[in-house]
Amino acid sequence: MEFAIYVVDTFTDTQFKGNSAAVVPLSEWIDDALMQRIAAENNLSETAFIKQIAPNRYEIRWFSPLTEIDFCGHATLASSFILFNHFDITGEIDFVTLEVGNLSVQQLDNGRIQMRFPNQCPEVVTDIPPALIDGLSIKPLTVMKNRQAYFAVLASANEVLDVDYKAEHLKLLAPYDLVVTASGICGSEVNAEVSSEFSVDSVHGAEYDFISRYFWPANGGDEDPVTGSIHAGLAPYWSQQLNKNELVAYQASARGGILYCEHKDDWVLVSGSAVLYLEGKIFV
């Protein structure tokens, strides 16, 4: 069998930044085990498989190197980028998912791709798992949870950049992942020694409403470079805390990524840029 494959860097307009995802368009679904083997071979955060079922309507499934994922933002962005730029799709795209309903996507006038996600605002957890506390070097101010992950709110952007984690403890949170977050980040406020581990050119001199990092050792890898789906929970939370509906977010990692978010009641709009890295073929 032969399949086309694309690799796209998402939530960035620069190659080798943001988060990479593979996109594999299919004419018919293939065996789940084969999709998982392809994702493991790609060894990227996610591989998205898409199949057209009607004009501008596609089924989509996402696989990390370890398992199928029920909700992935950056691979949805990558899939949309390929459809808009390589398949001549215009107008709104409707992605049909197995677990989170339909996701609608459109390309904005400024070139960014905007995805509509269900609002997944987290709720406060009173019984905090010991593995979460033991797995972080800094104790969170608040811990919350939604259907995807635990949310650990830290005191500052510097703490988010500085926090260390122990993957062996965080694995015990399965099936949940963990995001650490804090409000506000300005380049002048970030400790240069700490931020040197991250995408410094994206941090310094820039202002964001909130910052995050995402750990998922049980489901994909130790740390995800940029996680679109978790902003379906982060954006409504910080919208409430900051009393504003439009927010700009930064996810810190060695690659780093910028997400433009808007909280709209039952929905969260998450937008970002993307750039093509690779176009090729898979032979299996």
Establish whether 46 is a catalytic residue: yes
Work out the burial of residue 73: count CB atoms within 10 Å of its CB; fewer than 13 is exposed, 13-18 middle, 19 or more buried. Answer: buried
Give SS3 for 265. coil
Query: Contact, 48 vs 78, CB < 8 A?
Result: yes
Catalytic residue among 2, 28, 41, 46: 46
| Main-chain phi, psi angles of 3, to 5 degrees | -130, 145
| Main-chain phi, psi angles of 122, to 5 degrees | -80, 165
Query: For residue 42, how far is the Cα from the chain centroid?
Result: 18
The span from the CA of 110 to the CA of 143, in Å, is: 36
The verdict on whether omega for the bond into residue 175 sits within 30 degrees of 0, i.e. cis, is yes
Catalytic annotation, residues: 46
